[in-house]
Structure 1
Amino acid sequence: MTTAITPSPAPFPSPATAVEFFTARLAFQTDVSDVRAALVSGTPGFVLIDSRTDQGWQQARIPGALHLPTGEIPTRAAALLDPAVPVVTYCWGPGCNGATRAALALSRLGYQAKEMLGGIEYWIREGFPTEGRTGLGQHSPDPLTAPSGAVSCGC
Protein backbone atom coordinates (compact mmCIF):
# COMPACT_ATOMS: atom_id res chain seq x y z
CA MET A 1 0.00 0.00 0.00
CA THR A 2 1.33 3.43 -0.93
CA THR A 3 0.52 6.64 0.82
CA ALA A 4 -0.10 9.70 -1.26
CA ILE A 5 1.95 12.68 -0.26
CA THR A 6 0.01 15.90 -0.26
CA PRO A 7 2.29 18.81 -1.03
CA SER A 8 1.90 21.69 1.32
CA PRO A 9 2.39 25.21 0.08
CA ALA A 10 5.37 27.10 1.35
CA PRO A 11 4.46 29.45 4.16
CA PHE A 12 3.73 33.04 3.23
CA PRO A 13 6.48 35.51 4.09
CA SER A 14 5.90 38.20 6.63
CA PRO A 15 4.78 41.53 5.17
CA ALA A 16 8.17 43.04 6.03
CA THR A 17 10.02 40.24 4.21
CA ALA A 18 7.68 40.58 1.22
CA VAL A 19 8.27 44.35 1.06
CA GLU A 20 12.03 43.77 1.05
CA PHE A 21 11.80 41.12 -1.67
CA PHE A 22 9.44 43.00 -4.01
CA THR A 23 11.34 46.26 -3.55
CA ALA A 24 14.52 44.45 -4.57
CA ARG A 25 12.86 42.96 -7.66
CA LEU A 26 11.74 46.41 -8.79
CA ALA A 27 15.26 47.73 -8.21
CA PHE A 28 16.74 45.12 -10.54
CA GLN A 29 14.02 44.63 -13.15
CA THR A 30 11.71 46.66 -15.35
CA ASP A 31 9.14 45.65 -17.95
CA VAL A 32 8.48 46.46 -21.57
CA SER A 33 5.62 48.86 -20.83
CA ASP A 34 7.75 50.94 -18.48
CA VAL A 35 10.69 50.96 -20.91
CA ARG A 36 8.39 51.99 -23.77
CA ALA A 37 6.88 54.82 -21.70
CA ALA A 38 10.35 56.05 -20.76
CA LEU A 39 11.57 55.95 -24.38
CA VAL A 40 8.49 57.76 -25.67
CA SER A 41 9.00 60.48 -23.03
CA GLY A 42 12.18 61.51 -24.84
CA THR A 43 14.21 61.50 -21.61
CA PRO A 44 14.35 57.86 -20.52
CA GLY A 45 17.27 58.30 -18.12
CA PHE A 46 18.98 55.13 -19.32
CA VAL A 47 20.58 53.51 -22.35
CA LEU A 48 18.69 50.49 -23.70
CA ILE A 49 21.03 47.65 -24.63
CA ASP A 50 20.20 44.73 -26.91
CA SER A 51 22.53 41.97 -25.74
CA ARG A 52 21.71 39.46 -28.50
CA THR A 53 23.88 38.28 -31.38
CA ASP A 54 24.14 40.03 -34.73
CA GLN A 55 21.51 37.67 -36.19
CA GLY A 56 18.93 38.65 -33.57
CA TRP A 57 19.78 42.35 -33.90
CA GLN A 58 19.31 42.24 -37.68
CA GLN A 59 16.02 40.35 -37.39
CA ALA A 60 14.28 42.82 -35.08
CA ARG A 61 15.31 45.31 -32.41
CA ILE A 62 13.82 48.07 -30.34
CA PRO A 63 14.29 51.45 -32.05
CA GLY A 64 16.92 53.47 -30.23
CA ALA A 65 18.56 50.46 -28.59
CA LEU A 66 22.32 50.07 -28.62
CA HIS A 67 23.68 46.72 -29.83
CA LEU A 68 26.17 45.29 -27.36
CA PRO A 69 26.24 41.48 -27.31
CA THR A 70 26.92 40.05 -23.87
CA GLY A 71 30.23 38.49 -24.90
CA GLU A 72 31.52 41.87 -26.09
CA ILE A 73 30.62 43.84 -22.96
CA PRO A 74 34.05 43.52 -21.28
CA THR A 75 35.89 44.87 -24.33
CA ARG A 76 33.40 47.40 -25.77
CA ALA A 77 31.34 48.85 -22.91
CA ALA A 78 33.84 51.52 -21.88
CA ALA A 79 34.00 52.92 -25.42
CA LEU A 80 30.20 52.95 -25.87
CA LEU A 81 28.71 53.80 -22.50
CA ASP A 82 28.89 56.67 -20.03
CA PRO A 83 29.35 55.16 -16.55
CA ALA A 84 27.09 57.90 -15.13
CA VAL A 85 24.09 56.78 -17.23
CA PRO A 86 22.18 53.65 -16.11
CA VAL A 87 21.56 50.83 -18.56
CA VAL A 88 18.62 48.52 -19.23
CA THR A 89 19.39 45.23 -20.95
CA TYR A 90 17.16 42.98 -23.01
CA CYS A 91 17.51 39.72 -24.88
CA TRP A 92 15.05 37.30 -26.54
CA GLY A 93 12.36 36.67 -23.95
CA PRO A 94 11.38 35.15 -20.63
CA GLY A 95 12.90 31.79 -21.56
CA CYS A 96 16.32 33.41 -21.99
CA ASN A 97 18.61 34.73 -19.29
CA GLY A 98 20.77 36.75 -21.68
CA ALA A 99 19.54 40.08 -20.30
CA THR A 100 20.42 38.90 -16.79
CA ARG A 101 23.91 37.91 -17.91
CA ALA A 102 24.39 41.25 -19.68
CA ALA A 103 23.18 43.23 -16.64
CA LEU A 104 25.56 41.22 -14.45
CA ALA A 105 28.50 41.84 -16.80
CA LEU A 106 27.76 45.57 -16.87
CA SER A 107 27.31 45.71 -13.09
CA ARG A 108 30.69 44.04 -12.65
CA LEU A 109 32.18 46.89 -14.70
CA GLY A 110 30.57 49.49 -12.43
CA TYR A 111 27.42 50.39 -14.42
CA GLN A 112 23.98 50.74 -12.83
CA ALA A 113 21.94 48.08 -14.60
CA LYS A 114 18.44 46.62 -14.79
CA GLU A 115 17.05 43.90 -16.98
CA MET A 116 13.90 44.29 -19.04
CA LEU A 117 11.56 41.40 -18.34
CA GLY A 118 10.00 39.78 -21.39
CA GLY A 119 12.72 40.79 -23.82
CA ILE A 120 12.08 41.51 -27.48
CA GLU A 121 9.38 38.81 -27.48
CA TYR A 122 7.10 40.69 -25.12
CA TRP A 123 7.99 44.02 -26.71
CA ILE A 124 6.60 42.62 -29.97
CA ARG A 125 3.68 40.86 -28.27
CA GLU A 126 2.58 44.13 -26.66
CA GLY A 127 2.47 45.72 -30.12
CA PHE A 128 5.44 48.07 -29.77
CA PRO A 129 7.47 49.00 -32.88
CA THR A 130 10.64 47.27 -33.99
CA GLU A 131 13.18 47.85 -36.69
CA GLY A 132 15.28 45.34 -38.56
CA ARG A 133 16.51 44.30 -41.96
CA THR A 134 13.07 44.98 -43.48
CA GLY A 135 12.72 48.43 -41.88
CA LEU A 136 10.22 49.52 -39.24
CA GLY A 137 7.48 47.14 -38.23
CA GLN A 138 4.75 46.72 -35.68
CA HIS A 139 2.41 43.84 -34.78
CA SER A 140 -1.02 44.06 -33.23
CA PRO A 141 -0.92 43.52 -29.47
CA ASP A 142 -1.39 39.93 -28.35
CA PRO A 143 -4.57 39.94 -26.22
CA LEU A 144 -2.95 37.38 -23.91
CA THR A 145 -0.23 39.87 -22.93
CA ALA A 146 -1.76 43.33 -23.41
CA PRO A 147 -5.31 44.66 -23.46
CA SER A 148 -6.65 45.27 -26.95
CA GLY A 149 -6.75 48.95 -27.89
CA ALA A 150 -4.87 50.11 -24.79
CA VAL A 151 -1.60 52.05 -24.77
CA SER A 152 -0.24 49.98 -21.87
CA CYS A 153 -1.29 47.21 -19.53
CA GLY A 154 -2.11 49.78 -16.84
CA CYS A 155 -0.21 47.87 -14.19
Structure 2
Amino acid sequence: MTSQLTATAVNPVLRVPPASPAAAAAHFGASLAFHADVSDVAAALAAGGDPGFALLDSRSTESWDQGHVPGAVHLPTALIPEQAGKLLDPAVPVVTYCWGPGCNGGTRAALALAELGYQVKEMLGGFEYWAREGFAFETRQGRERRDADPLAAPVASDDCGC
Protein backbone atom coordinates (compact mmCIF):
# COMPACT_ATOMS: atom_id res chain seq x y z
CA MET A 1 0.00 0.00 0.00
CA THR A 2 1.36 3.40 -0.91
CA SER A 3 1.19 6.26 1.50
CA GLN A 4 -0.51 9.45 0.41
CA LEU A 5 0.49 12.90 1.50
CA THR A 6 -2.15 14.94 3.22
CA ALA A 7 -2.67 18.59 2.37
CA THR A 8 -0.66 19.58 5.45
CA ALA A 9 2.17 17.08 4.96
CA VAL A 10 5.37 18.20 3.27
CA ASN A 11 6.74 16.06 0.49
CA PRO A 12 10.31 15.36 1.70
CA VAL A 13 11.64 15.36 -1.87
CA LEU A 14 10.18 18.77 -2.64
CA ARG A 15 10.66 20.33 0.81
CA VAL A 16 13.42 22.29 -0.88
CA PRO A 17 12.17 23.03 -4.41
CA PRO A 18 14.29 21.97 -7.40
CA ALA A 19 16.69 24.51 -8.82
CA SER A 20 15.77 26.43 -11.93
CA PRO A 21 16.69 24.68 -15.20
CA ALA A 22 19.50 27.20 -15.76
CA ALA A 23 20.94 26.65 -12.27
CA ALA A 24 20.62 22.88 -12.67
CA ALA A 25 22.40 22.98 -16.04
CA ALA A 26 25.24 25.02 -14.53
CA HIS A 27 25.55 22.67 -11.54
CA PHE A 28 25.48 19.41 -13.48
CA GLY A 29 27.74 20.79 -16.19
CA ALA A 30 30.24 21.78 -13.52
CA SER A 31 29.94 18.37 -11.88
CA LEU A 32 30.94 16.66 -15.14
CA ALA A 33 33.99 18.93 -15.34
CA PHE A 34 35.13 17.57 -11.97
CA HIS A 35 34.18 13.89 -12.24
CA ALA A 36 34.53 10.91 -14.56
CA ASP A 37 32.82 7.58 -14.02
CA VAL A 38 34.46 4.18 -13.96
CA SER A 39 32.90 3.03 -17.24
CA ASP A 40 34.11 6.10 -19.12
CA VAL A 41 37.63 5.72 -17.72
CA ALA A 42 37.62 2.02 -18.66
CA ALA A 43 36.39 2.80 -22.19
CA ALA A 44 39.08 5.45 -22.69
CA LEU A 45 41.81 3.09 -21.49
CA ALA A 46 40.48 0.17 -23.56
CA ALA A 47 40.43 2.25 -26.77
CA GLY A 48 44.19 1.90 -26.96
CA GLY A 49 46.75 4.56 -27.50
CA ASP A 50 46.99 7.65 -25.37
CA PRO A 51 43.74 8.21 -23.43
CA GLY A 52 44.60 11.89 -22.97
CA PHE A 53 44.88 11.67 -19.18
CA ALA A 54 46.96 10.05 -16.46
CA LEU A 55 45.12 7.84 -13.97
CA LEU A 56 46.38 8.22 -10.41
CA ASP A 57 45.78 5.82 -7.52
CA SER A 58 46.23 7.86 -4.34
CA ARG A 59 46.12 4.96 -1.84
CA SER A 60 48.82 3.38 0.30
CA THR A 61 51.27 0.79 -1.03
CA GLU A 62 49.40 -1.96 0.83
CA SER A 63 46.13 -0.91 -0.83
CA TRP A 64 47.83 -0.65 -4.25
CA ASP A 65 49.19 -4.18 -3.85
CA GLN A 66 45.71 -5.42 -2.91
CA GLY A 67 44.40 -4.23 -6.27
CA HIS A 68 44.66 -1.30 -8.68
CA VAL A 69 43.61 -0.25 -12.16
CA PRO A 70 46.08 -1.45 -14.81
CA GLY A 71 48.12 1.46 -16.12
CA ALA A 72 47.46 3.70 -13.12
CA VAL A 73 50.26 5.71 -11.54
CA HIS A 74 50.71 5.02 -7.83
CA LEU A 75 51.18 8.18 -5.78
CA PRO A 76 49.78 8.31 -2.24
CA THR A 77 48.15 11.64 -1.46
CA ALA A 78 50.68 12.62 1.20
CA LEU A 79 53.50 12.34 -1.38
CA ILE A 80 51.83 14.41 -4.11
CA PRO A 81 53.48 17.74 -3.24
CA GLU A 82 57.01 16.31 -3.43
CA GLN A 83 56.64 13.68 -6.17
CA ALA A 84 53.91 14.77 -8.61
CA GLY A 85 56.38 16.73 -10.74
CA LYS A 86 58.55 13.61 -11.17
CA LEU A 87 55.67 11.28 -12.13
CA LEU A 88 53.10 13.44 -13.91
CA ASP A 89 53.26 15.78 -16.89
CA PRO A 90 51.64 19.08 -15.87
CA ALA A 91 50.22 19.43 -19.40
CA VAL A 92 48.25 16.17 -19.11
CA PRO A 93 44.97 16.07 -17.14
CA VAL A 94 44.94 13.67 -14.19
CA VAL A 95 42.06 11.45 -13.04
CA THR A 96 42.38 10.46 -9.38
CA TYR A 97 40.84 7.58 -7.49
CA CYS A 98 40.95 6.01 -4.06
CA TRP A 99 38.95 3.14 -2.50
CA GLY A 100 35.38 4.08 -3.33
CA PRO A 101 32.38 6.25 -2.58
CA GLY A 102 32.88 5.89 1.18
CA CYS A 103 36.34 7.43 0.93
CA ASN A 104 37.31 10.97 0.00
CA GLY A 105 40.97 10.15 -0.69
CA GLY A 106 40.51 10.70 -4.42
CA THR A 107 39.04 14.12 -3.64
CA ARG A 108 41.99 15.02 -1.40
CA ALA A 109 44.42 13.88 -4.12
CA ALA A 110 42.56 15.95 -6.72
CA LEU A 111 42.76 18.99 -4.45
CA ALA A 112 46.49 18.51 -3.89
CA LEU A 113 47.09 18.24 -7.65
CA ALA A 114 44.87 21.25 -8.45
CA GLU A 115 46.82 23.29 -5.92
CA LEU A 116 49.98 22.36 -7.86
CA GLY A 117 48.41 23.58 -11.12
CA TYR A 118 47.24 20.27 -12.64
CA GLN A 119 43.94 19.88 -14.45
CA VAL A 120 42.18 17.12 -12.56
CA LYS A 121 39.04 15.03 -12.32
CA GLU A 122 38.03 12.41 -9.77
CA MET A 123 36.88 8.94 -10.83
CA LEU A 124 33.51 8.36 -9.17
CA GLY A 125 33.24 5.02 -7.40
CA GLY A 126 37.00 4.55 -7.08
CA PHE A 127 38.64 1.16 -7.08
CA GLU A 128 35.56 -0.44 -5.49
CA TYR A 129 33.36 0.29 -8.48
CA TRP A 130 36.14 -0.55 -10.92
CA ALA A 131 36.13 -4.08 -9.49
CA ARG A 132 32.32 -4.20 -8.99
CA GLU A 133 31.71 -3.30 -12.63
CA GLY A 134 33.80 -6.29 -13.67
CA PHE A 135 36.90 -4.55 -15.03
CA ALA A 136 40.26 -6.28 -14.76
CA PHE A 137 42.63 -5.13 -12.04
CA GLU A 138 46.15 -5.95 -10.96
CA THR A 139 47.30 -7.21 -7.57
CA ARG A 140 50.66 -8.19 -6.17
CA GLN A 141 49.89 -11.74 -7.40
CA GLY A 142 48.85 -10.76 -10.93
CA ARG A 143 45.80 -9.78 -12.95
CA GLU A 144 42.28 -10.52 -11.69
CA ARG A 145 38.74 -9.89 -12.83
CA ARG A 146 35.46 -10.45 -11.01
CA ASP A 147 31.99 -10.87 -12.43
CA ALA A 148 30.06 -7.62 -12.66
CA ASP A 149 27.84 -6.91 -9.68
CA PRO A 150 24.26 -6.66 -11.02
CA LEU A 151 23.64 -3.79 -8.58
CA ALA A 152 26.51 -1.78 -10.06
CA ALA A 153 26.73 -2.73 -13.75
CA PRO A 154 24.76 -4.46 -16.48
CA VAL A 155 25.62 -8.16 -16.59
CA ALA A 156 24.43 -8.84 -20.16
CA SER A 157 25.93 -5.78 -21.89
CA ASP A 158 28.98 -3.53 -21.86
CA ASP A 159 26.73 -0.47 -22.07
CA CYS A 160 24.42 0.69 -19.30
CA GLY A 161 22.76 3.19 -21.63
CA CYS A 162 23.44 6.21 -19.45
TM-score (norm 1): 0.94
Opposite residue 108 of structure 2, the aligned amino acid is: R
Poorly superposed stretches of 4+, deviation over 4 Å = 4-8
**What is the alpha-carbon distance in structure 2 between the residues aligned to residue 63 and residue 118 of structure 1?**
16
Opposite residue 22 of structure 1, the aligned amino acid is: F
Task: Determine the structure 1 residue equivalent to 2:74.
Answer: 67
- 1:40 partnered with 2:46: yes
Gaps of 5+ in 2: 1-7
Opposite residue 108 of structure 1, the aligned amino acid is: E
Q: 1:5: Cα distance to partner?
A: 7.8
Write the mapping of 1:4-153 to structure 2, written as runs, cut at 5 A: 6=10, 9-42=15-48, 43-153=50-160
**What is the alpha-carbon distance in structure 2 between the residues aligned to residue 34 and residue 154 of structure 1?**
12
**What is the alpha-carbon distance in structure 2 between the residues aligned to residue 127 and residue 119 of structure 1?**
13
**CA-based RMSD:** 1.3
Moved more, 115-124 or 143-152: 143-152
Q: 1:113: Cα distance to partner?
A: 0.2
**What is the alpha-carbon distance in structure 1 between the residues aligned to residue 69 and residue 157 of structure 2?**
20
1:48-95 per-residue CA deviation (whole Å, 9 max, x = no partner) reads 000000110000000000000000000000111110000000000000
Q: How many residues of Structure 1 are paired with residues of Structure 2 in the alignment?
A: 152
Opposite residue 96 of structure 1, the aligned amino acid is: C
1:83-126 per-residue CA deviation (whole Å, 9 max, x = no partner) reads 00000000000000000000000000000000000000000000
Q: 1:154: Cα distance to partner?
A: 2.4
- Give SS of 1:30's match: strand
**What is the alpha-carbon distance in structure 2 between the residues aligned to residue 76 and residue 87 of structure 1?**
14
User: CA contact under 8 A between 1:33 and 1:153: conserved in structure 2?
Assistant: no
